[in-house]
Chain A
Amino acid sequence: MLVGLEHYLILSTILFAIGLYGALSKRNAIVILMSIEIMLVAVSIALVAFSRYIVPLALTGQVFVIFIMVVAAAEAAVGLAIIIAIYRGYETIDATKINLMKW
């Protein structure tokens, strides 16, 4: 089987859908953060595949992915810090129980 652009895009779409489902349905705040990381990975796969098949001579997509990885790391660090602060106050990280203010 020849692996082409569409295979990568299908993989990326499935991963993105899994991530979005997890981010919207899970209760544990850390699992939500993990789901968001899955979404970012899906985007990265799509970018690299596009870059390889659409503009093979430029490295635009790859460079974009490196920036995404760096920013995602920063975001995860801040996210985990906030979750620790939440745990100190609420003694839980269940997103459905963090509801002092109505949504």
Chain B
Amino acid sequence: MHLGLILPELTLLVFAIAVILVDLVTQKKEVLVWVSLFGIVISAGFTLGMWGWGSYAIFNNQMAVDSFAIFFKLLFLGIAALVILASVDYTAKFANFRGEYHALVLLAALGMMLMAATTSLISIYIAIELTSISLYILVGLLKDAKSTEASLKYLLLGAVASAVMLYGMALVFGFTGEVGLGEIARVVQGMSLATLLASPAFMVGIVLMIAGFGFKMAAIPFHMWVPDVYEGAPTPITAYLSVASKAAGFALVLRVFYSAFGFPDWLSLNWGIIFAVLSAIGMTVGNVAAIPQTNIKRMLGYSSVAQAGYLLVGVATVGLSAAADVVGRSSVLFFLASYALTNMGAFIAIIAISDKLKSDQISDYSGMGKRAPLLALGLTLCLISLIGMPPAAGFMAKFYIFSGAVQHGLLWLVIIAVINSVISAYYYLRVVKVMWLGEPASAEKVPSSGALKLALALSCFGVLLLGILPGIVMRLAEIAAKMFGF
């Protein structure tokens, strides 16, 4: 047995159950926040302790414990902690369900940690569903019309996407006779192009699996759920969806496509080109659709579709570089870390402002620079980082990903991406302009609680740190990308 190696996951599970039990016996619901944060800290401690141990395949090759998984586990735990901090006040909207809320946030984090670590089609499916089902419930937790509608749309589209992905998995299983990623890779490596052309089922299987993963990544053309679900869901959960769930999808895509379909070269070239095309369409559609939006959550929804497009530039680079170097993989990891901090920060500021204004309309943010200067400053920093301007993290992230892509012959894609960054500046800066130059609707200050301020300060600190000293995280990302054990 390898129970020692899944201590981080076990800890989260135990604390998720503990939260529900504590909820039954206590009247002071603030305790729940502390219990869940405590669980996350302990789990992160165990995870950190495993950094640098090397790679292990555990549970009959169902899971891997390697630096790649550990990098993502730490990222998800950090995001979950920020989400819990940011929802301290927000949970008053569903006061009866605080226990369930915190337990489900922890369970979703557990699912995402498993998504980063799984190395077999069966465990991938289970990890995806553990994450998804927890998130379906969280999205509908507000129980008003918009929230339940968002939840239903998310569930129906998510279930269809996972059924399609399963069909792809069935085809890949039928073609290779294996479910483990490593075993699949061994079977595929022995095949010639002629064998493959005689049986297109394998290629169809790969494309159908991209459909399922694309849904989690919120990449084109599987993004239809994004704007509606982002608008309807409780704002902390919108943040969680846009950051953690997307990062988990990318972790999965990197591991599956690199370790199962990474060789021979013509195969990785094939999916590299598929991702490059998806990326070009995704960036353009996301950015153009974001321009006319008036609801800030909807706008950030389309923006996250566009950011998925930038990330796919990195995934395409991984395919085209044919596993020769780690540049592609490590720059995707760095982009995900920077995007996570940036989007988290933006959403925390939105939670603080919108909760007091009772509105998500961009026009109501008018004059926020005078009413809540610190929140407005944080939001401005995060929006600048989303555009990709120095000194924020987004600049370095885009720099790494684009320079890697240029080295591997994706100049055309980088040109599209840069044009898109310029388009995106318009709608991000419009919010900044409204906040600092617009007339305040009233002179009343917008106060915010200590937990929100702490969460926003942590995110902004991270954004600046990654922007000014990118070397530290980049080195971690390189180690993580190298230690792709299986």
Q: A residues touching B (Cβ–Cβ < 8 Å)?
A: 9, 12, 16, 19-20, 23-24, 29, 32-33, 36, 39-40, 42-43, 46-47, 50-51, 54-55, 58, 60-61, 63-64, 67-68, 71, 74-75, 78-79, 82-83, 85-86, 89-90, 95, 98-103
Contact = CB atoms under 8 A, between A and B. Distances in A.
Contacts of B163: 19-20, 36, 39-40, 43
B179 interface: yes
B160 A98 contact: no
Nearest to B156: A32
Nearest to B201: A9
Nearest to B148: A85
Contacts of B129: 71, 74-75
Contact of B167 (A43, A54, A60, A98): A43
Interface of B: 121-122, 125-126, 129, 133, 136-137, 140, 143-146, 148-153, 155-156, 159-160, 163-164, 166-167, 169-171, 173-174, 177-179, 224, 227-228, 231-232
A86 to B, nearest CB: 5
7 contacts: A19-B163, A40-B166, A54-B177, A60-B122, A67-B122, A68-B125, A103-B228
B173 A75 contact: no
A45 B169 CA distance: 13
Contacts of A33: 156, 159
Contacts of A39: 160, 163-164, 167
Given A64-B179, A98-B149, A101-B146, A79 B159 contact: yes
Nearest to B132: A75
A23 to B, nearest CB: 5
Interface of A: prevailing SS: helix
Given A74-B129, A85-B140, A101-B150, A36 B156 contact: yes
A50 B174 contact: yes
A47 B156 contact: no
Nearest to A83: B152
Contacts of A58: 177
B173 A60 contact: yes
Given A46-B171, A98-B152, 12 more contacts: A24-B160, A33-B156, A43-B167, A43-B170, A55-B177, A64-B179, A75-B155, A75-B159, A85-B143, A85-B151, A86-B152, A99-B149
A90 B143 CA distance: 12
A80 to B, nearest CB: 10
A91 B14 CA distance: 39
Nearest to B134: A78
B149 A100 contact: yes
B154 to A, nearest CB: 9
B174 A46 contact: yes
A90 B160 contact: no
Nearest to B229: A101
Smallest CB-CB A-B distances: 9 pairs: A50-B174, A39-B163, A46-B170, A43-B166, A55-B177, A85-B148, A54-B177, A101-B228, A36-B159
Nearest to B298: A101
A71 B152 contact: no
B152 A78 contact: no
B145 A46 contact: no
Contacts of A55: 177
B224 A103 contact: yes
Contacts of B145: 89-90, 100
